[in-house]
Structure 1
Amino acid sequence: MSHRQLMDGVYRYQRHIYDLTRKYYLLGRDGLVADLDVPAGGTVLEIGCGTGRNLIAVGRAWPRAQLHGVDISAAMLDTARASVAKAGMAERATLAQGDACGFDAQALFGRARFDRVFISYALSMIPDWEGALAQAGQCVAPGGRLEIVDFGQQDGLPALWKGALFAWLARFHVSPRRDLMPAIERLAQAMGGVAHSRALYRGYAVRGGLVRG
């Protein structure tokens, strides 16, 4: 089974309750959106856009931003398109199906680079997450930013909590990436950029990213 088929299977029904249930444990998403600081008329790309929840939040915070989202799951994109239209953003949002590890942004969106690129709780679901991270870096315009939030290693929380959470996440094909922060730093160095990363909520989540030189 391909990763695309797996994700469609996972979200065929979950997509209808995804936003309602995930808001209690996908922590740090709203902080990432608030920190994007999109330039006037700037372009934003979310990789793994899911239901469109985050892109809609970006659109509300920056009404002049041009919104773009890519996701491997056709089922999720159906929900995202309906949500974006309901929010009145269909004319400035373009959503497309593609593999986070290797999509052609120019072909999908008519542009290869974006002022802001972000990934929210998706790298932990992508088998070749380092490939997806490299692909995201390629989409960042000079002077632009890549921002990421995802599950951390729970280092500041009890061991029993970590074991239970990781076991539960595994049921949904989610694997928190221990080497995410070092990988972001390596990518920034390769791009001539500057990386940043920090733990959130005692290690429950991590925020990281880079500014491209």
Structure 2
Amino acid sequence: MSGHGAVMDGVYRYQRHIYDLTRKYYLLGRDGLIADLAPPPGGAVLEIGCGTGRNLIAVGRAWPQARLYGVDISDAMLDTAQASVAKAGMGDRVMLAQGDACGFDAQALFGRAMFDRVFISYALSMIPDWEAALRQAAACVAPGGRLDIVDFGQQDRLPGVWKRLLFGWLGAFHVTPRRELALAIEAMARASGGAAHVRSLYRGYAVRGGIIRL
């Protein structure tokens, strides 16, 4: 278990039991991302930082023909995800594995190296070397596929006191909104020969972006 994995296990060992109930009020934009995934029939969808499995289950319900994969660094979260996936009746459709978002071997974990859709929902803000995780995610996108990301923005069109309070609270959970996220997505698209898309949501509360691999 890496140092960051141990930290995440410590953070979520108990929180994982109420994670989905509490996070639905402030992890905004996740469901819009899922609704827009539109994988091809029988396509493969990978979530990096899959946590409790909540998003993968939602993808499975929205896109019943998709093959679903999830990787997370926290064994505690994966235990919850496995139980949630089984309860949802998707045990035969969802493959989960423990791995570091900054560098995992998708072929070894899942029997495939690339995916039609890769997404990261509110995880880059929790990964110390988030740019390495972004590179890893882009490398997993199949030709013609897409990487989609949603995460905290800089709250630039919201009151300053709101930003100070939110960022202070997030910091207690090892969450740091990435100021350079939009620029990093655009740079990664150029480096990978893809096309970037980035936009602000909810007056800067969140950032939605990604890369289309051409």
The two structures have a TM-score, normalised by structure 1, of 0.99
**Residue 117 of structure 2 aligns with which residue?**
116
- Cα RMSD (Å): 0.6
Identity of aligned residues (%): 78
CA shift at 1:92, angstroms? Answer: 1.1
Q: Which secondary structure does the structure 1 equivalent of 2:7 belong to? A: helix
**Residue 200 of structure 1 aligns with which residue?**
201
CA shift digits 1:52-99 (9 cap, x unpaired): 000000000010100000000000000000000111111011000000
Q: Which runs of structure 2 are paired with 1:1-213 in the superposition (5 Å)?
A: 2-213=3-214
Gaps of 5+ in 2: none
CA shift digits 1:84-119 (9 cap, x unpaired): 011111101100000000000000000000000000
Q: Which secondary structure does the structure 2 equivalent of 1:50 belong to? A: coil
Q: Which secondary structure does the structure 1 equivalent of 2:203 belong to? A: helix
The AA in structure 2 aligned to 1:42 is G
Q: Which secondary structure does the structure 1 equivalent of 2:92 belong to? A: helix
Alpha-carbon separation, structure 2, partners of 1:64 and 1:198: 29
- The runs of at least 4 consecutive aligned structure 1 residues that moved more than 2 Å come to none
Give the count of matched residue pairs: 213
Alpha-carbon separation, structure 1, partners of 2:63 and 2:208: 21
Alpha-carbon separation, structure 2, partners of 1:202 and 1:107: 41
CA shift digits 1:117-166 (9 cap, x unpaired): 00000000000000000000000000000000000000000000000000
Gaps of 5+ in 1: none
Alpha-carbon separation, structure 1, partners of 2:90 and 2:42: 14
CA shift at 1:176, angstroms? Answer: 0.1
Alpha-carbon separation, structure 2, partners of 1:156 and 1:116: 31
The two structures have a TM-score, normalised by structure 2, of 0.99
